[in-house]
Amino acid sequence: MENHVLVIHCPDAKGLIARISAVVFRNNLNILAMKEFVEEETNTFFMRSELSGNLQSALLLQELRQELGKEAYIVINPKQKKDIVVLCTKEHHCLADLLTRHHFGSLHARILAVIGNYEYLQDITQRFEIPYLYISHEHKDKFQFEQELIQAILPFKPDYLVLAKFMRILSPEFVARFENKIINIHHSFLPAFIGANPYKQAYERGVKLIGATAHMVNNQLDEGPIITQQVRAVNHSMKLKEMIDAGHEVEVSVLSHALQLVLEDRVFVSGNKTIILE
């Protein structure tokens, strides 16, 4: 008998856990682990529980719905293996990591397709028998390019879009279609560097740490609720190329960790920040 996962967020109210856990108890289920957090600024309740016992999913959902009302977001036993579509451009490091994890069953997701705006990454994708869709952005305006992306994506009905170093800025309209369903990764520095070629700026400034940030995409490419961040030490003796390599290593590690959190239904978006119930 496997454990079940129950995920809820809704406006907070006194007695919420009492009411939820009473329903769970009436359904003859045991709560093995519960993480709960109330965001006081927004008066929102977030919960992730692991349950054991003989689950009758429809019944539990109905009773929780009755108890919590229409506004509540309730998911019982979210899909163990989410469906994802990966978007990429030229850089292979994040994609290759996703493909090997997928291949060996440690990704906790099914990669339905990889879409690239160049042909560079077709070969590696096909080595793992994943469909590769090449959709160039050239000679198209953003609207037309994104329409082609959407037409390519929709048939797969993915749970998440993963931008594995996809280097096109997405329009607010595109993003709105996949709200809180797009995960992006980008390099991060202290201090931040605005403008072109941030690695070159970081190199010239002699930073001692470079990092990466994985985040949900809202209406700007490198903004949006942060899921996780990591850094790595660099030093004066590293050439620009070596600093970029180090940055890629962090990006792979951060994207992999962020995906794990998202795919295990531990990430909740609230405004421009995330609640992570680990």
Site residues, its own copies (CB under 8 A): 12, 14-18, 21-22, 24-25, 28-40, 53, 92-93, 96-97, 100, 103-104, 106, 124, 127-128, 188-192, 204-209, 211, 213, 222, 225-231, 235-237, 245, 253, 272-276, 278
Q: Min. distance of Cβ 181 from its own copies in angstroms? A: 18
- Cβ–Cβ < 8 Å for 50, 63: no
Tell me how many helices (H) and strands (E) the chain has. Answer: 8, 13
Distance of CA 61 to the CA centre of its chain: 25
- By the 10 Å C-beta count (0-12 exposed, 13-18 middle, 19+ buried), 43 is classed as exposed
CA distance 73 to 2: 23
Query: At 160, phi and psi to the nearest 5?
Result: -140, 145
Active-site residue, selected from the candidate residues 83, 123, 222, 245: 222
Decide whether 25 or 73 has the Cβ nearer to its own copies.
25
CA distance 56 to 228: 34
Q: Min. distance of Cβ 91 from its own copies in angstroms? A: 10
Decide whether 146 or 251 has the Cβ nearer to its own copies.
251
Decide whether 101 or 137 has the Cβ nearer to its own copies.
101
Q: Any catalytic annotation for residue 222?
A: yes
Q: Min. distance of Cβ 117 from its own copies in angstroms? A: 19
Q: Min. distance of Cβ 203 from its own copies in angstroms? A: 9
- Cβ–Cβ < 8 Å for 212, 198: no
Length of the chain measured in residues: 278
Q: Which residues are catalytic?
A: 222
